[in-house]
Structure 1
Amino acid sequence: MLRDQQNTLRAVILTGLFAALIYIGVWVLRIPIPAMVGRPFIHFGNTLTVTAILFLGKRNGMLAGLIGLGGFDILNGYLAVSWLTMLEVIVVALIISGLFKAFGYVDSKRNITILAITAGVTKVFTSYLASIIEALMVGTSFKTALVASFFSLPATVVNSISTAICAPFLYFSIKKIYALVQTRRG
């Protein structure tokens, strides 16, 4: 939606707004899930990050995700692994932005749904790799890290399914509200 307006004051404000919403989306609804590696939990931060990337474009959406998810990790006891979260945001942003570009930035319901599903699947893989790295950081053997990380994926799978379902609804709702506001202003 705002892909071509990265440096406008409006884009900067919306980036900050999305960053705050992402942080709040993690902070407000956090349902911890027992895991062998890390302290995963169910939250809406990933869904909001994907929505930000789709709405604001790769750069500003990625910045919103880095600030929102990374900021949450830094301020809430996940400092040692915050870099992994931020790396995951970058990977997801690059993949769905590249696919969106391949779709010619046509934001049909079909394309946005495919992008949301792709983001969810990507997040499962990046979280698995991040969990392996996290396990290795605390001295776990490689084979044990592979297995333990696999059994630590339930929260990620729930978050990914939530992203695949909710991100398209959020994107089209925000797009409609944004268009309405623009019409009333102009």
Structure 2
Amino acid sequence: MQVKYRIKGIRAITYTALFAAIIFIGISVLRIPIPALVGRPFVHFGNSLTVLAILILGGRLGAIAGAIGLGGFDLLNGYAATSWLTVLEVIIMALVVSGMVHFFHDNDRTGNVIIISVVAGITKVFTSYFSSLITALMYGTTFKAAVVASFLSLPATVINSISTVIIVPILYFAVKDIVYRSIR
């Protein structure tokens, strides 16, 4: 399951930019807003595509693609004040997913990809909770109110996490051979 081929040079830049663009488009094209007490969350495919980028490109390049795609979206769409939290979430996701990839060593079993997707979804729920908590505190909310409001703001994240569990294995097995063949 580890990245089979190290992407270097211009290919690394190209694939990272390609995934960043795909992530940006994935979050821009389909946005379903969900009412929340903290922030303006919405359902989108950006998180799923970020996990896919981490699986295909590896932790470092996948994190860069996710940070550019998700962070860039935030900067350009009214979320600039909290875009640093999005980038931090991407870095944490890259560390967790990369750790899971290394744990499963060198195998591409469907079950392992599903497990990684589930762990990625759970990680997203926790990072979004803490991101919402920090956002609420930045707005001047008391700590107790921020804890409750952050918890009540999780429905969009839970839906995004469930979609990650479904979408990542499907796209991973559809895309990985194409990407690895072009790298060889």
- Give the TM bin, normalised by the shorter chain: over 0.9
Percent identity, please: 59
Aligned to 2:78, the other structure's residue is in SS state coil
Residue 117 in 1 paired to residue 121 in 2?
no
TM-score (norm 1): 0.94
Correspondence 1:62-141 to 2 at 5 A: 62-141=63-142
Distance 1:24 1:14 in 2: 15
List structure 1 segments (4+ residues) > 2 angstroms apart after TM superposition: 1-4, 176-179
Distance 2:178 2:89 in 1: 29
- Aligned partner of 2:11 in structure 1 is 10
Residue 54 in 1 paired to residue 27 in 2?
no
Q: Deviations over 1:94-150 (max 9, x none)?
A: 011011101113221111110011000000000000000000000000000000010
Correspondence 1:161-176 to 2 at 5 A: 161-176=162-177
TM-score (norm 2): 0.95
- Aligned partner of 1:149 in structure 2 is 150
Q: Deviations over 1:72-92 (max 9, x none)?
A: 001110000000010000001
Give unpaired runs (5+ residues) of structure 2: none
Q: What is the aligned length?
A: 183
Amino acid at match of 1:51: L
Aligned to 2:97, the other structure's residue is in SS state helix
- Aligned partner of 1:35 in structure 2 is 36
Distance 1:26 1:153 in 2: 17
Aligned to 2:115, the other structure's residue is in SS state helix
Question: What is the CA-CA distance between 1:176 and the residue it aligns to?
Answer: 3.1
Q: Is the 8 A contact 1:2 1:56 kept in 2?
A: yes
Q: Is the 8 A contact 1:3 1:58 kept in 2?
A: no
> RMSD of aligned C-alpha atoms?
1.6
Q: Is the 8 A contact 1:120 1:163 kept in 2?
A: yes
Q: Which has the higher contact order (CA 8 A, sep 6+)?
A: 2
Distance 2:86 2:152 in 1: 19
Aligned to 1:107, the other structure's residue is in SS state coil
CA spacing shift, 1:91–1:53, aligned 2, 3 Å: same
Distance 2:6 2:13 in 1: 9
Give unpaired runs (5+ residues) of structure 1: none
Amino acid at match of 1:13: T
Amino acid at match of 2:100: L
Distance 2:172 2:64 in 1: 17
Distance 1:3 1:124 in 2: 29
CA spacing shift, 1:82–1:3, aligned 2, 3 Å: farther
